[in-house]
Structure 1
Amino acid sequence: MKPRDDFEICIVGGGATGWAAALAAAEAGRTTAIIAPSAAFPVGRTAALFAGSIELLEQFGAMPDLASAAAPLQAMRLIDDTGRLIRAPEVTFYAGEIGLNAFGYNIPNRRLVEALSERARNSRYITIFEDTASELSFRNDCVHITTGRGTSLKSDLVVGADGVRSLVRAKTGIAVRRWRYAQSALVTTLSITHPHHSVSTEFHTDRGPFTLVPMQGNNVSLVWVERPREAALLCEIPDEEFARRAERSAHSLLGAMQVTSPRVSYPLSAGLADRFASGRALLIGEAAHIFPPIGAQGLNLGLRDVEALKTVLSLNRSRLDEGTAAEFHRLRQADVRSRTLAVDLLNRSLLTGLLPVQALRAVALSAAGGFAPFRRFLMQQGLAKTFRGL
């Protein structure tokens, strides 16, 4: 084993993506450092993880620790609630149609990070620095990293899992294109009086999606996309009034509701790095791509970044170098950029008043409802059940 200040790969940033990347590096037998300050997670925040992400968690041995908190997603129901002249038919996708017991599981963020970080603490290949990274400098043969407390590290490669304001991305000089939507997302959790039957229900409105995702018991997590002013008002009204409005927006499908966690609202934006690697640096998660909470693609895409990292680390290179990063960039191009475009088009299709766009969306969902091969294609593409890079 190398000394504590000299590593083959250093992960900057924690969260689910950062801890998963550390486990992937350790699984490849690489001496690994992770610089991850302790973090607090808002009560009630969850992540809907699809089959490919669940497979990765199973490989890391994390799923047994998550089983008691994970709620299966056995069906996905889409309802056009735009009230427009041209409306799409209601469509429900069932996991059994593609041979799965569930599309995935909805898991509390806190439990997910705890399970991954606990696995990392038990790995002989991983050294954990509960700190921030304050400085990076790139040499021909390595990367020098200085932590907030002044610890100096050296690594063959650095992986930026440090989020939207990524220090790693900034130090590599990789530009990022950002854009905002005239929307905000309100998130909270609710108890319900009618069982959800493991069905995730998404109402498409002319302001954005209103999505109820199953949790354990008679509970759901809510992502309510609204105009910014309306989202702010929804955060301020009493719990009882908010619950009534949520029930009304859900057309009482799940019965009466009660708020079970604080409501939080934030502006909707998206972003995409020009490159996903440069020199000896790789970008994963929100350091590479920023998604609105639509289609549950954000964290799932970050974990597919980790899957790609596993792939490049499995190549028989005795030493990690610029070639490793270049191969990672190549592997992530099509997946990240195609999904960024798809989520952006889906969101804009709800907001537009153009009849041809509304008609096209209605035709696509009609085909999804009635044409079995197209249904299966959409489900497989949405899940990205396996990562195929080579």
Structure 2
Amino acid sequence: MPLNILGTILTEGTDNIPHYDTIKTALPYVLGATAIKYWSRGPSNTWERKLHGKVYIVTGATSQGMGTSVILEMARLGAQLIFLTREVDEWSTEWVEDLRERTKNELLFMEKCDLNDLWEIRKFVTSWLDNSPPRRLDGVIVMSGNMEPWGIPKFKLPKRKSSKDGLEVQMATNYVGIFHLLNLLQPSFKAQPPDRDVRIIVTTCWLQVMGDINVEDPLWQKVKYDSALKFFASSKLQLGLSMMELQRRLIESVKNDSKKNTERSGKNIAVCMVQPGTMRSQSLRRVISNGSITLLILLYCIILYPILWLFTKSGNRAAQNLLYALNTPELEEINRQDEKAKYVSDCSIVKFARKEFEDEVLQKQLFENTERDILEIEKKMAIKRNAGKPEKKKDSKKKK
């Protein structure tokens, strides 16, 4: 068809082309929109490796967006996946069964572990580590996250939502829970053989450049809740800085624990932060609609969707960055130039935007204070749980 049109133009002129004036007017806009969409979709991952026999713990897999796209590809490549979820119910069970059928991979499992509950995280990790010999673990893929509606400044302040431990829910989900999970899993990472390529991949967001760092109160327990965006951005920033310290600790610990005749470098364990880009996710819908179903339908689905489709990524396109971090040989021990954690954006390793990512003293202090405050919260919650047990026994005796 295009050749016929070009032939007609060359031999007979444009007068014989139907609707030529309309096409001439619309063509620049169509080409411009196509160029914008091609740019906004981002590059594709070009690396692939077989994952048969490899074991990964995954969070955020049930998003029906980026997370689901990532685990579908991992399952297709043969990986054994353990999905962490808040509840193992009828829906989640059917979801896993459907994945097994779609990918022809039976090694997909669901485990209950709410990242908003520090006690549940500790129970899961304790059961994971309570095994001899140590269980195989080729990596952790963290794709879970939470972004609350930002509210309308000066008119409507956002409501503070709390986790089970009393922390602001974004700080708990995006920072504290993930930090606790990966920190407790350190023995498992270090127990892997030196020839095993272990990858800890954590999603972040470009909004982290707007975040603040609260070294003395890293869980933000004493900070006034006046901006949901500030808590979100800061949770992502602090997570990234803590991952820099986690990478150093893992490498140093492996070196110190190794026998002199092995000379392990520890660089087979790679920590990588991935910025997937702006995508049409549940978080974006929640922010634009401000938590309102009416605004979701009118503003997001009808008014803004054409613009969002043009300038943002789908979940599948955003997944390309995580698949790149999972598959690229650049993170293999033999190819690594240094011992620092890496940052991936647009399917390539890039530099960090903020100077704090070069401040090792700050990262260490933030890591240690976060550990300290999490331990204090765990002690308080344990006291509360234990205080309730005798009361239940007394009540049962009275009933008898």
Q: Normalising by the residue count of structure 1, what TM-score does the alignment of the two structures yield?
A: 0.27
- Which structure is higher in RCO with an 8 Å CA cutoff and minimum separation 6? 1
Q: Normalising by the residue count of structure 2, what TM-score does the alignment of the two structures yield?
A: 0.26
Q: Which has the larger radius of gyration?
A: 2
- Which has a greater percent of helix? 2
